[in-house]
Every structure is written in C-alpha cells, then in structure tokens.
Structure 1
Amino acid sequence: MGAEQVTERFTQLYGARPEGVWAAPGRVNLIGEHTDYNDGFVMPFALPHRAVAAVSRRTDGILRLHSGDIEGGRAEITELRLDTLAPQSDDDWTAYPAGVVWALREAGHEITGADVHLSSTVPTGAGLSSSAALEVVIALALDELYGLGLQRWKLARLCQRAENVYVGAPTGIMDQTASACCEQGHALFLDTRDLSQRQIPFDLAAEGLRLLVVDTQVKHAHSGGEYGKRRAGCEKGAALLGVDALRDVPYAGLDAALARLGDDEEVVRLVRHVVTENHRVERVVSLLRSGETRAIGPVLTEGHASLRDDFRISCPELDLVVDTALANGALGARMTGGGFGGSAIVLAESTETDTLTKAVEESFTASGFTVPRVFEAVPSTGATRLT
C-alpha cells in the first residue's frame, strides 16, 4: 500500500489527514547470522518490501493503532493509554509500535500520544524482519513529529530495546539498524559492537546475477525458547573463555578456544559457528570489494552448513531449498534470519533463476511441503519519509 492509500485510510479512520507518512523496509541478511548479539559482524541489505505508517500527534496521552493487513490486524482501532504501557503486556502486533512509544518515553522523550494507521508488505514469520520494519517506521515518524533529532543508530537502539524488553524477544541490533540505515544498491557491513557502518556496493544485475529469496512459509517466533537458548549458550561460552563476547575469540585461535571448552558439546558448536561466521562476513566483504561477487557463493553455502550442523536452527524445508538450488546450478545458498523456518537465499546467474525456481517448487511438491514463495531481493533504500 502506497502513501496515498495509507493517507486515505487514515483519514477515514480518524477524521483528518495525517501529519505525515513514513516507510521502513524489511531486510535480507546476506551473511552474518546470530553474530549480532555476540558483538560480531553482519551484512544485511534492505528489501523493497516495507511497512508504511500514516501518523499524527495527540496531546492526551492516548495511542491509537490500526492495521488492516498486518497479521493479527483487526477492523477496529486499538486504543492504549501511554501511562499504562508495560513490558510484555501485549502479545498482538500492536506490541511493536507500542513498545517503541514505551522505549522513547523510558529514554526521557516527551511523547504525548499518536494516531497511527499501518500497512506492511513485509512477509511475517519469514525471517525478513517484519517486526523491525514496524518498529523503525514508528520511531522515525515520532522522531520527526516530536522534533527529537535522534541519529539513525540511536533510533535502532531504541527499537531493539522495544523488542527485547517490551515484546520479550531477545534479538540483536542488526534488524533495526538495517531497516533504519541501509542504502539502495548496497549491503551494510555493520560492526554490532560499536555500530560502525560501511556501505558495500552490491549491484548484482550489473554482473548478470540475481539473489532469490525463498520463503518456505514455515513460521517461526523469535520470542520462542529455542532462540533464547542459543543466545544463553553463546553467553555461557564467552564466560567460560573469559571474554566479553564471542566476537573477541580470534578465528586463528578457534581450535585452542574450543579445546578450553572441554566436553560441553553444545557450547562448542555454538562458539564454533559464531567465530567462523564472523570470519565469513569478513571474507564476503573482501570479495565484494575486489569485484569477485560470484566467489561469495561458496561462502554463503558454508554459512548454511554451520547454521544447520553447529547452531542447529535449520529445518527440512530450508535444507531442501539449499540442496535443490545447489544441485541445479546455484552459485550458493543458505538460510537467512533467526531459523526454525522462514526463508533461504539463493545466489544464481540471471539466466538460471527460472530453472532454479521451478526445481525448488517441484521438490517441495514432491516432498509434500507447501509450495514456497519465491521473489528477487533487490538492495533498496532504508527508512524514509514519503509525505
């Protein structure tokens, strides 16, 4: 839904035109999975799929929220009092925008209320950061409407706090930063420890390449226990190794570090994934900067094997995408996102994508799985004001 349609619907709902319309995208993570909450490296880029919000200020301490197309959205408006917002009090989609308002107020910013109509084309539960898009679009709108003057990285931090504390999902900083900060035609090389950023040119079409997203339509929930267990295991590994975070374990010293962990097999696997994944991000950055885009394919595939075998967050549908794509000529493929479902990405020659898509769809049908949704991922712009 575009700015005009969102404006029209807002006006129908609230009886006046909004003060503005903003958009924030979902994201695909090219490489660097489950490294962000370990102070590591990630490399996402923004999708053209986005959340769009029409917003106006209120002065009576009321937050009114509406969406007709977000999963869980309803025909009626949800009305909340700002002074009663409390962490983990809401298990609906409204927790994401409400959590941002709560986080802004907790940080000392005087938000006195808002009317909001939201629409989103970011698939939910697909590992493409639909929740971060909702958070960032609200944060950007309120930042501009209330004249807060917050830098994008600070907006991302507040959105992460909303998801961690208010929603109760132990996510890292990558998703919100990608939605807030990505640039069109680039992938974002982000150091999640100090939030330093480098925009890396990523123009696949110019090189005759395409990156496909295969949404398996297997749903996952970040706030579920398995994600939290992996994060706790990583923190245990860091503590056993005497470092602040697994980011501090050098790739060259990995074998020695694993030996120090002894027979705690689960922690060994988690540590091995994080350290090798950070190294894979650095390899991809180096290859892209030297113009060797096709050579990133095997690195992506290595990343999937690590997520499948060490982090153990893949599933049969994701493995089937990767195996089928590679068997039919893909340059590389891996799952992307939190895991336990969601999406995989496939890097391929532009001339091969139709054949690959057909092969993946047929393999899912033969296996009795729901046919996946396949679309091209084009590096797009980050959060912005539309009107």
Structure 2
Amino acid sequence: MDPVASAEHLFAERYGRRPAGVWSAPGRVNLIGEHTDYNDGFVFPFAIDKRTTVALGDRDDRLIRVASTFSPDVVELHIDELSPDAVSGWAAYPLGVAWALGEFGADLAHVRGVDLHIDSDVPVGAGLSSSAALECAVALALDEHWGLGFDRPTLAKVGRLAENRVVGAPTGIMDQSASLLGEHDAGVFLDCRSLDADVIPLGFAASGLSLLVIDTKVEHAHSTGGYAARRASCEAGARALGVESLRDLHVGDLARAQEVLDDETFRRVRHVVTENQRVLDTVRSLREHGAGSIGPMLDASHVSMRDDFEISVPELDLAVETAQANGAIGARMTGGGFGGAAIALVIDALVPVITKAVGAAFAEHGYRAPAIFTVHASQGARRDA
C-alpha cells in the first residue's frame, strides 16, 4: 500500500471516516555543519526519501485529537488550552506546532478543531530528524487547512519554536528548514543568521555515488544534558570573546580564543568555527569540482566532533573508521551526537562491501547490529492528497 493510501486507511480505521487531506514531510541528513545552526552559522543538509505522513480530518468543535501508529493513545486538547506545558510525550510535537502557529500570529480563536493521524518511516533516534519531519508535516497541514498563509521559512520557525518551548529540546532551525525547503538531488545551504537558503545540486547519482546511512541503534535524546551543555559552552565562549555568536569568529581568531578560554570551552568554540569553514568549503568544492571532491571535509568534520566537541560514541567512530578503511570517499557522524547515525559517501559499487564490513566490525566488537541503508535527496514537505 502506498503511503497516501496507507495514511487514509489508518485515519479511517482510527476515526471512522475519510480524512480531508494528507500531507508529508521528510527527515533529513545533514551532509555537513553540525552544532553550527544555533550559533548563527552555516549548515548543508538535504531532505531524504523517508517521510512522516499526516492525515487530517475536520471537526465541528474546537478539539485537536492526535493519534499515531507508534502509540496506542489518542491525545486530545481544546485549542483554547494549547500552551507549552499542556502536553508531554510524543503528542508535544504536533500539539506544540498548533500552539506555535498562534505565537506567530495565527488567529486560533476562529479555527475549528481537527483530527490528526501520524505515520512515519523516518527512523527514530538515528539523527535523521524524525522530530522535524513530524513538526513540518503538521505545520504544513494546519497552515493549509486553516488557511493561515504562512510561507515556508516561517513554518520552519514554527517547528523550531515548538521543539524548543514545548518539547524542551534547544535545537536550531536547520532540521525544519531542510524538511520544508528540500528539493530532489539537492542540498539546502542555509545561513542560520539571515535564514537565506540556497538550493545546491548534489549530483551524487551522476557521479556514481551513494550516501550510506549507518544507524548505530544507539539512541539519543536532544532534550537531555549533553546537547544543552554544548550549547551553553558555545554561548559562554561567545560572551567571553565579546561577540554576538560564534558565527562572528573566523579561523584566524582561534589563537586569541585559546588565550582567553579554558581548554574545554576553546575546543567547543574551535569545532564550531572550523565547521562553519568546512561547510563553506564543501559547497564551493561541490560547485567547482563535483561530488567526489568533498570527502576530506567530511572526514575532518568527524574528527572535530569526536575530539573537540566530544559528541561521538564508540559505535559512531567504528562506523566511520570502517567505512573509510573500505574505500569511502568520506565519512562522519551526523546529527546532534551521543548516538544516532554516521554517513559515508561511497562509490555505488562499494555499497555492499562497506555494508558488510561495518556489520562485521560491529559484531566483532559486540555492538548491536546497525541498520545500513542508502538515502537520496528528496522533495520537501508537500500535500499528497
């Protein structure tokens, strides 16, 4: 059953009628640019061909009901009761989006309630931003159904606000931007300060390359301490160096930063500053030399996240090292860290070789078997039916 038919069927099974429409939004892989987004820096993600689907039906009252295939519960809330503290758990994502739309000026006093049913094939906990896929699918569905007329950059801000204030994860705007702005065979080069976005062709297929995702099955949670601690270090470093954000620093400023900051804060700052430069170098190299030229930036990014930002785990390091040893053009962990997935850019013919090698290495180390699959740059959020 195709995703749209499945969404309509699941909605009807849960609510006893057909939905008024079906919307979907993709997860994302961040090709490069990690922990730079909340530092006003540069990121370069792309939307992937794994999506979250939302079927929506109208109601004649002002209740919002949300259900999903990954929970037996139906959670309901009156629109007038929407607030950051009104709900917890998985329902905080869709209901948080509804609240955040009001914070951006939507007149929620005059909209009718809706029933939502959510389905997804974006792996949860793998660093592929299943959360943003959910937020963006719901945001687009509610925006269109309620006739709000927000543009996509605003809907990205809506998703970020929901995740920050309602879910409690201090993330930046990269994930929502990729999910809403992505295009086929292209990455989204995003300036997180201005929110200017440039869609850059990737050309992986034309170059005979595949992007392999290695989901370590080590789950992470952004709302727990490690992510928040890294963000706090970045903010402390910016304050100590007298800049608005780490975006205002360049590689040439690192000598002064090392004199001013303690060792740990300096290394956190060095990662962000050098990662911003790697994003710029990757985009330039893609434009000038093609997809096969970006491996060194991917490799250097992983070293920086492992040693300076200290957000890798042994499983991620093993995945990256094994992919590199078996011919990957470049490899790095992706996502917020402390688990999740690594990515490897590989020649098509080496996909089975690297897949087998990584699986064997994990077994040898006694790690849980990883999920390994290729992803392709895909269209962003859309109405499907």
Does the 8 A contact of 1:88 with 1:167 survive in 2? Answer: no
Does the 8 A contact of 2:21 with 2:57 survive in 1? Answer: yes
Give the corresponding residue for 2:284: 286
Does the 8 A contact of 1:87 with 1:168 survive in 2? Answer: no
Give the secondary structure class of the aligned counterpart of 2:206.
Answer: helix
Give the corresponding residue for 1:225: 225
Deviations 1:326-353 (A, max 9, x none): 1111111100000000000001111111
AA in 1 matched with 2:260: R
Q: Structure 1 residue runs of 4+, over 4 Å off?
A: none
Give the corresponding residue for 1:164: 164
AA in 2 matched with 1:377: V
Residue 80 of structure 1: how far off its partner (Å): 1.7
Give the corresponding residue for 1:83: 80
Give the counterpart of 1:327 among 325, 328, 339. 325
Give the corresponding residue for 2:309: 311
Give the counterpart of 2:357 among 353, 356, 359. 359
Deviations 1:69-127 (A, max 9, x none): x3xx11x4222222223324433211100100111123331333210011000000110
Percent pairwise identity: 53
In structure 2, distance between residues paired with 1:58 and 1:101 = 15
Segments of structure 2 that go 5 or more residues without pairing to the other structure are none
TM-score, with length taken from structure 2: 0.97
In structure 2, distance between residues paired with 1:57 and 1:170 = 32
AA in 2 matched with 1:181: L
AA in 2 matched with 1:314: S
Aligned residue pairs, count: 381
TM-score, with length taken from structure 1: 0.96
Give the corresponding residue for 1:187: 187
In structure 2, distance between residues paired with 1:300 and 1:79 = 44
Does the 8 A contact of 2:56 with 2:141 survive in 1? Answer: yes
Residue 267 of structure 1: how far off its partner (Å): 0.8
AA in 1 matched with 2:67: H
In structure 2, distance between residues paired with 1:338 and 1:89 = 27
Does the 8 A contact of 1:43 with 1:189 survive in 2? Answer: yes
In structure 2, distance between residues paired with 1:60 and 1:239 = 49
Give the corresponding residue for 1:24: 25
Deviations 1:114-146 (A, max 9, x none): 100110000001100000001000000011011
Give the secondary structure class of the aligned counterpart of 1:199.
Answer: strand
In structure 2, distance between residues paired with 1:377 and 1:255 = 39
Deviating more after overlay: 332-341 vs 293-302: 293-302
Does the 8 A contact of 1:249 with 1:257 survive in 2? Answer: no
1:106 and 2:119 equivalent? Answer: no
AA in 1 matched with 2:364: A
Give the corresponding residue for 1:174: 174
In structure 2, distance between residues paired with 1:347 and 1:32 = 16
Give the corresponding residue for 1:93: 90
In structure 1, distance between residues paired with 2:244 and 2:123 = 35
- Superposed, 1:122-137 pairs within 5 Å as 122-137=122-137
In structure 2, distance between residues paired with 1:255 and 1:28 = 32
Give the secondary structure class of the aligned counterpart of 2:105.
Answer: coil
AA in 2 matched with 1:219: E
CA 1:32/1:127 → structure 2, altered by over 3 Å: closer, same or farther?
Answer: same
Give the corresponding residue for 2:10: 9
Does the 8 A contact of 1:88 with 1:168 survive in 2? Answer: no
- The CA RMSD measured in Å over matched residues stands at 1.2
CA 1:86/1:379 → structure 2, altered by over 3 Å: closer, same or farther?
Answer: same
Residue 256 of structure 1: how far off its partner (Å): 2.4
- Superposed, 1:328-343 pairs within 5 Å as 328-343=326-341
